[in-house]
A and B are shown apart, each in its own frame.
Chain A
Amino acid sequence: MDSILLILRDYGTLLLVGQYPNGPLGGLAVTLLLSLLGLTLAFPIGVVMALARLSPFRWLRWPAIALVYVARGVPLLMFIFWVYFFVPLLIGRTVTGFTTMVVTLVIYQAAYLSEIVRSGIEGMPKGQAEAARALGLSYIQTMRRVILPQALYNMIPALVSQFVSTIKETSLGYVISVNEVTFAAMQINSSLMTQPFQVYFILAAIYFCLCFSLTQLARFLEGRITSRREGSRQSVVAVVSPSTTTTATAA
Protein backbone atom coordinates (compact mmCIF):
# COMPACT_ATOMS: atom_id res chain seq x y z
CA MET A 1 0.00 0.00 0.00
CA ASP A 2 2.81 2.37 0.94
CA SER A 3 4.52 1.75 -2.35
CA ILE A 4 1.34 2.61 -4.24
CA LEU A 5 1.09 5.89 -2.35
CA LEU A 6 4.75 6.57 -3.07
CA ILE A 7 4.23 5.95 -6.77
CA LEU A 8 1.22 8.25 -6.72
CA ARG A 9 3.26 10.92 -4.93
CA ASP A 10 6.17 10.73 -7.35
CA TYR A 11 4.33 10.07 -10.58
CA GLY A 12 0.80 11.33 -9.85
CA THR A 13 1.07 14.35 -12.15
CA LEU A 14 2.56 12.22 -14.92
CA LEU A 15 -0.44 9.89 -14.68
CA LEU A 16 -2.88 12.77 -14.61
CA VAL A 17 -1.58 15.24 -17.20
CA GLY A 18 1.73 13.82 -18.54
CA GLN A 19 4.54 16.36 -18.87
CA TYR A 20 2.13 19.27 -19.04
CA PRO A 21 2.72 22.25 -18.66
CA ASN A 22 6.42 21.71 -19.37
CA GLY A 23 5.75 19.22 -22.16
CA PRO A 24 2.86 17.79 -24.12
CA LEU A 25 -0.39 16.91 -22.37
CA GLY A 26 -0.64 13.22 -21.53
CA GLY A 27 -1.89 10.68 -19.02
CA LEU A 28 -5.47 10.58 -17.81
CA ALA A 29 -6.22 13.95 -19.39
CA VAL A 30 -5.52 12.54 -22.85
CA THR A 31 -7.49 9.37 -22.08
CA LEU A 32 -10.45 11.53 -21.10
CA LEU A 33 -10.03 13.70 -24.17
CA LEU A 34 -9.86 10.65 -26.45
CA SER A 35 -12.90 9.10 -24.81
CA LEU A 36 -14.87 12.31 -24.95
CA LEU A 37 -14.07 12.95 -28.60
CA GLY A 38 -14.67 9.31 -29.43
CA LEU A 39 -18.09 9.28 -27.78
CA THR A 40 -19.36 12.65 -28.92
CA LEU A 41 -18.29 12.11 -32.53
CA ALA A 42 -19.10 8.42 -32.84
CA PHE A 43 -22.60 8.72 -31.40
CA PRO A 44 -24.14 11.10 -33.96
CA ILE A 45 -22.32 9.31 -36.77
CA GLY A 46 -23.67 6.01 -35.44
CA VAL A 47 -27.22 7.40 -35.51
CA VAL A 48 -26.77 8.63 -39.08
CA MET A 49 -25.30 5.25 -40.08
CA ALA A 50 -28.25 3.44 -38.50
CA LEU A 51 -30.64 5.61 -40.51
CA ALA A 52 -28.59 4.91 -43.62
CA ARG A 53 -28.82 1.18 -43.00
CA LEU A 54 -32.59 1.43 -42.70
CA SER A 55 -32.88 3.62 -45.77
CA PRO A 56 -34.82 2.40 -48.79
CA PHE A 57 -32.02 3.77 -50.98
CA ARG A 58 -29.32 1.28 -51.85
CA TRP A 59 -26.59 3.89 -52.28
CA LEU A 60 -27.11 4.94 -48.66
CA ARG A 61 -27.58 1.47 -47.25
CA TRP A 62 -24.63 -0.32 -48.75
CA PRO A 63 -21.74 1.85 -47.53
CA ALA A 64 -23.15 1.69 -44.01
CA ILE A 65 -23.50 -2.09 -44.18
CA ALA A 66 -19.95 -2.43 -45.56
CA LEU A 67 -18.48 -0.31 -42.79
CA VAL A 68 -20.30 -2.31 -40.12
CA TYR A 69 -19.05 -5.60 -41.55
CA VAL A 70 -15.47 -4.37 -41.82
CA ALA A 71 -15.47 -2.96 -38.28
CA ARG A 72 -16.93 -6.13 -36.87
CA GLY A 73 -14.64 -8.40 -38.85
CA VAL A 74 -11.31 -6.74 -38.03
CA PRO A 75 -9.74 -6.39 -34.57
CA LEU A 76 -9.49 -2.80 -33.36
CA LEU A 77 -5.71 -3.11 -33.08
CA MET A 78 -5.52 -3.97 -36.77
CA PHE A 79 -7.76 -1.04 -37.52
CA ILE A 80 -5.44 1.29 -35.63
CA PHE A 81 -2.43 0.10 -37.65
CA TRP A 82 -4.35 0.56 -40.88
CA VAL A 83 -5.27 4.13 -40.10
CA TYR A 84 -1.80 4.82 -38.71
CA PHE A 85 0.15 3.55 -41.72
CA PHE A 86 -2.19 4.08 -44.64
CA VAL A 87 -3.92 7.37 -43.96
CA PRO A 88 -0.59 9.29 -44.24
CA LEU A 89 0.01 7.57 -47.61
CA LEU A 90 -3.48 8.51 -48.69
CA ILE A 91 -3.41 12.18 -47.70
CA GLY A 92 0.32 12.68 -48.25
CA ARG A 93 1.32 13.91 -44.82
CA THR A 94 1.85 12.41 -41.39
CA VAL A 95 -0.85 12.45 -38.75
CA THR A 96 -0.31 12.41 -35.01
CA GLY A 97 -1.03 9.31 -32.99
CA PHE A 98 -3.75 11.21 -31.20
CA THR A 99 -5.59 12.07 -34.43
CA THR A 100 -5.15 8.49 -35.63
CA MET A 101 -6.67 7.21 -32.44
CA VAL A 102 -9.64 9.58 -32.55
CA VAL A 103 -10.39 8.73 -36.19
CA THR A 104 -10.11 4.99 -35.56
CA LEU A 105 -12.24 5.02 -32.45
CA VAL A 106 -14.91 7.12 -34.11
CA ILE A 107 -15.22 4.86 -37.15
CA TYR A 108 -15.05 1.67 -35.12
CA GLN A 109 -17.47 2.76 -32.42
CA ALA A 110 -19.85 4.41 -34.85
CA ALA A 111 -20.20 1.06 -36.61
CA TYR A 112 -21.05 -0.74 -33.37
CA LEU A 113 -23.30 2.05 -32.12
CA SER A 114 -25.19 2.09 -35.41
CA GLU A 115 -26.17 -1.54 -34.88
CA ILE A 116 -27.48 -0.75 -31.41
CA VAL A 117 -29.40 2.28 -32.65
CA ARG A 118 -30.77 0.31 -35.58
CA SER A 119 -32.12 -2.43 -33.34
CA GLY A 120 -33.63 0.26 -31.12
CA ILE A 121 -35.41 1.82 -34.09
CA GLU A 122 -36.57 -1.52 -35.45
CA GLY A 123 -37.86 -2.51 -32.03
CA MET A 124 -40.29 0.42 -31.96
CA PRO A 125 -43.96 -0.42 -32.48
CA LYS A 126 -44.99 0.46 -36.03
CA GLY A 127 -47.90 2.53 -34.77
CA GLN A 128 -45.60 5.23 -33.42
CA ALA A 129 -44.18 6.15 -36.80
CA GLU A 130 -47.60 5.77 -38.41
CA ALA A 131 -49.20 8.13 -35.91
CA ALA A 132 -46.47 10.71 -36.50
CA ARG A 133 -46.70 10.42 -40.28
CA ALA A 134 -50.50 10.59 -40.11
CA LEU A 135 -50.15 13.98 -38.42
CA GLY A 136 -48.12 15.16 -41.39
CA LEU A 137 -44.67 14.96 -39.83
CA SER A 138 -41.91 14.25 -42.34
CA TYR A 139 -39.65 11.22 -42.06
CA ILE A 140 -36.91 13.30 -40.47
CA GLN A 141 -39.30 14.96 -38.01
CA THR A 142 -40.77 11.57 -37.14
CA MET A 143 -37.31 10.19 -36.40
CA ARG A 144 -36.22 13.22 -34.45
CA ARG A 145 -39.36 13.88 -32.39
CA VAL A 146 -40.91 10.45 -31.99
CA ILE A 147 -38.76 7.45 -32.87
CA LEU A 148 -35.22 8.31 -31.75
CA PRO A 149 -36.14 9.76 -28.34
CA GLN A 150 -37.86 6.49 -27.51
CA ALA A 151 -35.48 4.13 -29.29
CA LEU A 152 -32.37 5.68 -27.72
CA TYR A 153 -33.95 5.66 -24.29
CA ASN A 154 -34.76 1.97 -24.68
CA MET A 155 -31.19 1.28 -25.77
CA ILE A 156 -29.47 3.13 -22.92
CA PRO A 157 -28.03 -0.04 -21.32
CA ALA A 158 -26.51 -1.26 -24.60
CA LEU A 159 -25.28 2.23 -25.47
CA VAL A 160 -23.61 2.62 -22.09
CA SER A 161 -21.76 -0.69 -22.52
CA GLN A 162 -20.51 0.54 -25.84
CA PHE A 163 -19.46 3.89 -24.36
CA VAL A 164 -17.59 2.10 -21.60
CA SER A 165 -15.78 -0.07 -24.10
CA THR A 166 -14.75 3.09 -25.96
CA ILE A 167 -13.05 4.35 -22.83
CA LYS A 168 -11.22 1.08 -22.39
CA GLU A 169 -10.22 0.94 -26.03
CA THR A 170 -8.40 4.26 -25.78
CA SER A 171 -5.70 2.25 -23.96
CA LEU A 172 -4.74 0.68 -27.28
CA GLY A 173 -3.39 4.09 -28.23
CA TYR A 174 -0.16 3.16 -26.46
CA VAL A 175 0.85 0.89 -29.37
CA ILE A 176 1.17 3.95 -31.59
CA SER A 177 2.70 5.98 -28.75
CA VAL A 178 -0.32 8.09 -27.94
CA ASN A 179 0.58 9.62 -24.65
CA GLU A 180 -2.48 8.51 -22.68
CA VAL A 181 -2.73 6.98 -19.23
CA THR A 182 -1.67 3.43 -20.19
CA PHE A 183 1.34 4.88 -21.98
CA ALA A 184 2.16 6.91 -18.86
CA ALA A 185 1.88 3.78 -16.72
CA MET A 186 4.24 1.92 -19.06
CA GLN A 187 6.74 4.77 -18.71
CA ILE A 188 6.49 4.70 -14.94
CA ASN A 189 6.87 0.95 -14.90
CA SER A 190 9.99 1.03 -17.00
CA SER A 191 11.61 3.69 -14.85
CA LEU A 192 10.73 1.90 -11.60
CA MET A 193 11.50 -1.59 -13.01
CA THR A 194 10.54 -3.43 -9.79
CA GLN A 195 6.93 -2.62 -9.09
CA PRO A 196 4.75 -3.71 -12.04
CA PHE A 197 1.99 -4.98 -9.76
CA GLN A 198 1.56 -1.64 -8.01
CA VAL A 199 1.78 0.40 -11.23
CA TYR A 200 -0.76 -1.69 -13.08
CA PHE A 201 -2.98 -1.82 -10.04
CA ILE A 202 -3.14 1.96 -10.10
CA LEU A 203 -3.84 1.89 -13.83
CA ALA A 204 -6.64 -0.64 -13.42
CA ALA A 205 -8.16 1.40 -10.60
CA ILE A 206 -8.15 4.52 -12.77
CA TYR A 207 -9.98 2.75 -15.60
CA PHE A 208 -12.42 1.20 -13.21
CA CYS A 209 -13.28 4.54 -11.60
CA LEU A 210 -13.73 6.12 -15.00
CA CYS A 211 -16.02 3.41 -16.36
CA PHE A 212 -17.88 3.04 -13.10
CA SER A 213 -18.66 6.76 -12.94
CA LEU A 214 -19.95 6.67 -16.50
CA THR A 215 -22.32 3.78 -15.79
CA GLN A 216 -23.50 5.50 -12.61
CA LEU A 217 -24.10 8.72 -14.50
CA ALA A 218 -26.06 6.82 -17.12
CA ARG A 219 -28.13 5.10 -14.46
CA PHE A 220 -28.88 8.43 -12.85
CA LEU A 221 -29.97 9.97 -16.15
CA GLU A 222 -32.07 6.94 -17.07
CA GLY A 223 -33.75 7.08 -13.68
CA ARG A 224 -34.55 10.74 -14.13
CA ILE A 225 -36.15 10.20 -17.54
CA THR A 226 -38.12 7.22 -16.26
CA SER A 227 -39.47 9.07 -13.26
CA ARG A 228 -40.38 12.08 -15.38
CA ARG A 229 -42.39 9.83 -17.71
CA GLU A 230 -44.14 7.64 -15.23
CA GLY A 231 -42.90 8.50 -11.77
CA SER A 232 -46.16 10.10 -10.74
CA ARG A 233 -48.08 7.10 -12.05
CA GLN A 234 -48.47 5.51 -8.63
CA SER A 235 -49.74 8.67 -7.02
CA VAL A 236 -52.11 9.41 -9.91
CA VAL A 237 -53.57 5.94 -9.70
CA ALA A 238 -53.93 6.24 -5.96
CA VAL A 239 -55.76 9.56 -6.24
CA VAL A 240 -57.87 9.04 -9.33
CA SER A 241 -58.77 5.43 -8.97
CA PRO A 242 -57.67 2.67 -6.64
CA SER A 243 -57.97 0.15 -9.45
CA THR A 244 -54.77 -0.64 -11.28
CA THR A 245 -56.65 -1.92 -14.31
CA THR A 246 -57.17 1.64 -15.50
CA THR A 247 -53.48 2.00 -16.19
CA ALA A 248 -53.07 -1.43 -17.73
CA THR A 249 -53.48 -0.13 -21.23
CA ALA A 250 -51.81 -0.83 -24.50
CA ALA A 251 -49.29 1.92 -24.02
Chain B
Amino acid sequence: MNFSKKPLITFRDVSKWYGEYRALSSISADVHKGEVVVVCGPSGSGKSTLIRTVNRLEEIQSGAIHFDGKDVHASSVDINKFRSQVGFVFQSFNLFPHLSVAQNIMLGPVNVRKQRRAEARTRALELLDRVGLASKVDAFPGQLSGGQQQRVAIARALAMDPPVMLFDEPTSALDPEMVGEVLQVMKSLARDGMTMMCVTHEMNFAREVANRVWFMDQGSLVEVGVPDEFFSKPTSERARKFLSDLRTH
Protein backbone atom coordinates (compact mmCIF):
# COMPACT_ATOMS: atom_id res chain seq x y z
CA MET B 1 0.00 0.00 0.00
CA ASN B 2 1.06 3.56 -0.68
CA PHE B 3 0.85 6.02 2.15
CA SER B 4 1.57 9.71 1.99
CA LYS B 5 5.07 10.54 3.11
CA LYS B 6 4.03 12.70 6.00
CA PRO B 7 2.77 10.69 8.96
CA LEU B 8 -0.54 11.70 10.56
CA ILE B 9 0.51 10.72 14.08
CA THR B 10 4.11 10.56 15.24
CA PHE B 11 5.32 9.32 18.60
CA ARG B 12 8.82 10.49 19.53
CA ASP B 13 10.48 9.11 22.66
CA VAL B 14 7.16 9.07 24.49
CA SER B 15 7.49 8.08 28.14
CA LYS B 16 5.03 7.98 30.97
CA TRP B 17 5.47 7.11 34.62
CA TYR B 18 2.94 6.35 37.32
CA GLY B 19 5.15 7.30 40.24
CA GLU B 20 8.05 4.85 40.06
CA TYR B 21 6.31 2.60 37.56
CA ARG B 22 7.22 3.25 33.96
CA ALA B 23 4.07 2.69 31.89
CA LEU B 24 5.54 3.78 28.56
CA SER B 25 9.21 3.89 27.79
CA SER B 26 10.60 5.82 24.84
CA ILE B 27 8.00 4.94 22.27
CA SER B 28 8.79 6.15 18.78
CA ALA B 29 6.60 5.24 15.81
CA ASP B 30 4.45 6.72 13.06
CA VAL B 31 0.89 6.25 11.88
CA HIS B 32 0.36 7.30 8.27
CA LYS B 33 -2.78 8.58 6.69
CA GLY B 34 -5.04 5.73 5.60
CA GLU B 35 -3.07 3.22 7.61
CA VAL B 36 -4.62 0.66 9.97
CA VAL B 37 -2.35 -0.03 12.91
CA VAL B 38 -3.12 -2.82 15.34
CA VAL B 39 -1.44 -2.51 18.71
CA CYS B 40 -1.12 -5.83 20.51
CA GLY B 41 0.72 -7.26 23.46
CA PRO B 42 0.13 -8.93 26.81
CA SER B 43 -2.10 -7.18 29.33
CA GLY B 44 -0.29 -4.47 31.25
CA SER B 45 2.03 -3.83 28.33
CA GLY B 46 0.88 -0.22 27.98
CA LYS B 47 -1.21 -0.55 24.81
CA SER B 48 -4.25 1.24 26.19
CA THR B 49 -2.10 3.85 27.89
CA LEU B 50 -0.37 4.56 24.60
CA ILE B 51 -3.56 4.97 22.61
CA ARG B 52 -5.02 7.20 25.33
CA THR B 53 -2.03 9.55 25.12
CA VAL B 54 -2.96 10.40 21.52
CA ASN B 55 -6.02 12.46 22.50
CA ARG B 56 -4.56 13.34 25.88
CA LEU B 57 -6.82 11.23 28.02
CA GLU B 58 -3.40 10.42 29.52
CA GLU B 59 -0.64 12.98 29.92
CA ILE B 60 2.94 12.07 29.05
CA GLN B 61 6.05 12.99 31.02
CA SER B 62 8.58 13.19 28.21
CA GLY B 63 8.80 12.96 24.46
CA ALA B 64 6.25 14.33 22.01
CA ILE B 65 3.22 13.24 20.06
CA HIS B 66 2.43 15.15 16.89
CA PHE B 67 -0.90 14.97 15.17
CA ASP B 68 -0.93 16.40 11.65
CA GLY B 69 2.23 18.30 12.54
CA LYS B 70 0.87 19.79 15.78
CA ASP B 71 2.26 18.96 19.21
CA VAL B 72 -0.67 17.35 21.01
CA HIS B 73 0.69 17.85 24.50
CA ALA B 74 1.71 21.49 24.05
CA SER B 75 -0.07 23.81 26.44
CA SER B 76 -1.09 26.06 23.54
CA VAL B 77 -3.28 23.34 22.01
CA ASP B 78 -7.03 23.93 22.15
CA ILE B 79 -7.62 20.51 23.64
CA ASN B 80 -11.38 20.40 23.07
CA LYS B 81 -11.07 21.33 19.43
CA PHE B 82 -8.26 18.84 18.97
CA ARG B 83 -10.15 15.99 20.65
CA SER B 84 -13.16 16.62 18.44
CA GLN B 85 -10.94 15.62 15.48
CA VAL B 86 -9.97 12.27 16.97
CA GLY B 87 -12.59 9.55 17.16
CA PHE B 88 -12.21 7.41 20.27
CA VAL B 89 -14.00 4.14 20.99
CA PHE B 90 -13.80 2.70 24.50
CA GLN B 91 -13.74 -0.86 25.73
CA SER B 92 -16.79 -0.21 27.90
CA PHE B 93 -18.69 1.74 25.19
CA ASN B 94 -19.41 4.63 27.57
CA LEU B 95 -22.66 5.60 25.90
CA PHE B 96 -24.59 8.21 27.84
CA PRO B 97 -27.44 6.21 29.39
CA HIS B 98 -29.68 9.24 29.96
CA LEU B 99 -29.70 10.14 26.26
CA SER B 100 -31.31 8.31 23.37
CA VAL B 101 -29.18 6.76 20.66
CA ALA B 102 -29.75 9.77 18.39
CA GLN B 103 -28.96 12.21 21.22
CA ASN B 104 -25.76 10.32 22.01
CA ILE B 105 -24.61 10.76 18.43
CA MET B 106 -25.81 14.38 18.17
CA LEU B 107 -24.19 15.54 21.41
CA GLY B 108 -20.79 16.31 19.90
CA PRO B 109 -21.95 17.87 16.63
CA VAL B 110 -24.52 20.09 18.38
CA ASN B 111 -22.38 21.19 21.33
CA VAL B 112 -18.89 21.25 19.85
CA ARG B 113 -19.52 21.94 16.17
CA LYS B 114 -22.65 24.02 16.80
CA GLN B 115 -24.57 22.13 14.15
CA ARG B 116 -28.32 22.57 13.94
CA ARG B 117 -30.27 19.79 15.62
CA ALA B 118 -32.14 18.82 12.46
CA GLU B 119 -28.90 18.62 10.51
CA ALA B 120 -27.19 16.63 13.26
CA ARG B 121 -30.11 14.22 13.45
CA THR B 122 -30.06 13.59 9.72
CA ARG B 123 -26.36 12.82 9.97
CA ALA B 124 -26.97 10.59 13.01
CA LEU B 125 -29.49 8.59 11.00
CA GLU B 126 -27.01 8.15 8.15
CA LEU B 127 -24.36 6.93 10.55
CA LEU B 128 -26.76 4.57 12.30
CA ASP B 129 -27.68 3.18 8.93
CA ARG B 130 -24.00 2.65 8.23
CA VAL B 131 -23.54 0.62 11.43
CA GLY B 132 -26.80 -1.23 10.77
CA LEU B 133 -28.84 0.24 13.61
CA ALA B 134 -31.17 2.71 11.89
CA SER B 135 -34.14 1.16 13.67
CA LYS B 136 -32.67 1.98 17.10
CA VAL B 137 -32.50 5.74 16.60
CA ASP B 138 -34.83 6.56 19.49
CA ALA B 139 -33.90 3.66 21.76
CA PHE B 140 -31.92 4.21 24.94
CA PRO B 141 -28.54 2.53 25.51
CA GLY B 142 -29.99 0.37 28.27
CA GLN B 143 -32.25 -1.28 25.70
CA LEU B 144 -29.40 -2.34 23.43
CA SER B 145 -27.08 -5.34 23.46
CA GLY B 146 -23.37 -4.84 24.02
CA GLY B 147 -22.56 -5.20 20.34
CA GLN B 148 -25.25 -2.70 19.42
CA GLN B 149 -24.01 -0.26 22.05
CA GLN B 150 -20.49 -0.45 20.70
CA ARG B 151 -21.72 0.15 17.16
CA VAL B 152 -23.60 3.23 18.38
CA ALA B 153 -20.40 4.34 20.11
CA ILE B 154 -18.56 4.04 16.79
CA ALA B 155 -21.30 6.07 15.08
CA ARG B 156 -21.01 8.67 17.86
CA ALA B 157 -17.29 9.01 17.21
CA LEU B 158 -17.82 9.16 13.43
CA ALA B 159 -20.33 11.98 13.82
CA MET B 160 -17.44 14.41 14.32
CA ASP B 161 -15.99 13.37 10.93
CA PRO B 162 -12.60 12.59 12.47
CA PRO B 163 -9.64 11.94 10.15
CA VAL B 164 -8.51 9.21 12.53
CA MET B 165 -10.26 6.67 14.76
CA LEU B 166 -8.74 5.18 17.89
CA PHE B 167 -10.12 1.92 19.24
CA ASP B 168 -9.22 0.86 22.77
CA GLU B 169 -10.05 -2.85 23.00
CA PRO B 170 -13.46 -2.33 21.38
CA THR B 171 -14.50 -5.97 21.57
CA SER B 172 -13.03 -7.03 24.91
CA ALA B 173 -16.19 -6.33 26.91
CA LEU B 174 -18.46 -8.13 24.48
CA ASP B 175 -20.00 -11.57 24.58
CA PRO B 176 -18.30 -13.70 21.94
CA GLU B 177 -21.30 -13.79 19.63
CA MET B 178 -21.29 -10.00 19.38
CA VAL B 179 -17.65 -9.51 18.52
CA GLY B 180 -18.24 -10.15 14.82
CA GLU B 181 -20.77 -7.37 14.27
CA VAL B 182 -18.38 -4.77 15.75
CA LEU B 183 -15.37 -6.04 13.79
CA GLN B 184 -17.52 -5.92 10.66
CA VAL B 185 -18.11 -2.20 11.15
CA MET B 186 -14.41 -1.63 11.81
CA LYS B 187 -13.47 -3.55 8.67
CA SER B 188 -15.82 -1.46 6.56
CA LEU B 189 -14.25 1.70 7.99
CA ALA B 190 -10.81 0.40 7.09
CA ARG B 191 -12.00 -0.38 3.57
CA ASP B 192 -13.22 3.20 3.23
CA GLY B 193 -9.69 4.39 3.92
CA MET B 194 -10.09 5.55 7.54
CA THR B 195 -6.84 5.97 9.44
CA MET B 196 -7.18 3.67 12.44
CA MET B 197 -5.23 2.72 15.50
CA CYS B 198 -6.70 -0.30 17.27
CA VAL B 199 -5.71 -1.91 20.50
CA THR B 200 -7.17 -5.38 20.20
CA HIS B 201 -6.68 -9.04 20.94
CA GLU B 202 -8.47 -10.03 17.73
CA MET B 203 -5.51 -11.40 15.82
CA ASN B 204 -7.64 -12.42 12.87
CA PHE B 205 -8.73 -8.83 12.51
CA ALA B 206 -5.06 -7.80 12.61
CA ARG B 207 -4.14 -10.36 9.97
CA GLU B 208 -7.01 -9.38 7.71
CA VAL B 209 -7.17 -5.62 8.04
CA ALA B 210 -4.01 -4.19 9.58
CA ASN B 211 -1.28 -2.60 7.49
CA ARG B 212 1.06 -2.75 10.42
CA VAL B 213 1.19 -4.49 13.77
CA TRP B 214 2.81 -2.89 16.78
CA PHE B 215 3.80 -5.33 19.47
CA MET B 216 4.23 -3.88 22.94
CA ASP B 217 5.58 -5.43 26.10
CA GLN B 218 6.29 -3.85 29.49
CA GLY B 219 5.76 -0.32 28.21
CA SER B 220 8.08 -0.67 25.24
CA LEU B 221 7.31 -0.92 21.56
CA VAL B 222 9.18 -4.16 20.91
CA GLU B 223 8.35 -4.87 17.31
CA VAL B 224 6.70 -3.19 14.35
CA GLY B 225 5.91 -5.19 11.26
CA VAL B 226 3.45 -6.03 8.54
CA PRO B 227 0.97 -8.67 9.75
CA ASP B 228 2.14 -11.53 7.54
CA GLU B 229 5.70 -11.26 8.75
CA PHE B 230 4.79 -10.53 12.34
CA PHE B 231 2.59 -13.57 12.65
CA SER B 232 4.74 -15.99 10.66
CA LYS B 233 8.22 -15.01 11.81
CA PRO B 234 8.29 -12.54 14.69
CA THR B 235 11.78 -11.25 15.30
CA SER B 236 11.71 -10.81 19.04
CA GLU B 237 11.59 -13.56 21.63
CA ARG B 238 8.81 -11.77 23.54
CA ALA B 239 6.58 -11.57 20.47
CA ARG B 240 7.17 -15.27 19.77
CA LYS B 241 6.12 -16.11 23.32
CA PHE B 242 3.05 -13.84 23.11
CA LEU B 243 1.90 -15.43 19.86
CA SER B 244 2.42 -18.97 21.08
CA ASP B 245 0.52 -18.15 24.28
CA LEU B 246 -2.34 -16.90 22.13
CA ARG B 247 -2.41 -20.06 20.04
CA THR B 248 -2.58 -22.37 23.02
CA HIS B 249 -5.90 -20.82 24.04
Contacts and interface: CB of A to CB of B under 8 A. Distances in A.
Contacts of A249: 93, 144-146, 149
A247 B144 CA distance: 6
A122 interface: no
Nearest to B166: A134
Interface string B155-175: 011001000000000000101
Interface stretch (A36-44, A78-86, A108-116, A145-153): A145-153
A134 B112 contact: no
Contacts of A127: 90, 92, 94
B141 interface: yes
A250 B149 CA distance: 10
Interface in A132-148: 132-138, 141, 145-146
B94 A131 contact: yes
B165 to A, nearest CB: 11
A141 B111 CA distance: 8
B112 to A, nearest CB: 4
- Main SS class of interface, B: loop
B83 A146 contact: no
Interface residues of A, number: 30
A245 B175 contact: yes
Given A130-B57, A145-B107, A149-B98, A135 B156 contact: yes
B76 interface: no
Given A236-B143, A249-B149, A131 B90 contact: yes
B112 A232 contact: no
B142 A229 contact: yes
A98 to B, nearest CB: 38
- Main SS class of interface, A: helix
Contact of B140 (A137, A146, A229): A229
A87 to B, nearest CB: 41
A233 B90 CA distance: 24
Nearest to B173: A250
B42 interface: no
B181 to A, nearest CB: 12
A247 B140 CA distance: 11
A246 interface: yes
Contacts of B108: 135-137
B96 interface: yes
B97 interface: yes
Given A131-B90, A135-B84, A146-B96, 20 more contacts: A131-B88, A131-B96, A133-B83, A135-B83, A135-B107, A135-B108, A135-B160, A136-B82, A136-B112, A141-B111, A150-B97, A229-B140, A230-B143, A233-B143, A247-B143, A249-B144, A250-B173, A251-B95, A251-B97, A251-B142
29 contacts: A125-B92, A127-B92, A131-B96, A132-B96, A133-B57, A134-B55, A134-B57, A135-B160, A136-B81, A136-B84, A137-B107, A137-B112, A141-B112, A145-B107, A150-B96, A150-B98, A229-B98, A229-B142, A230-B142, A232-B139, A233-B142, A233-B143, A236-B139, A237-B143, A247-B142, A247-B143, A249-B145, A250-B92, A251-B97
Interface of B: 55, 57, 80-86, 88, 90, 92-98, 107-108, 111-112, 139-146, 149, 153, 156-157, 160, 173, 175
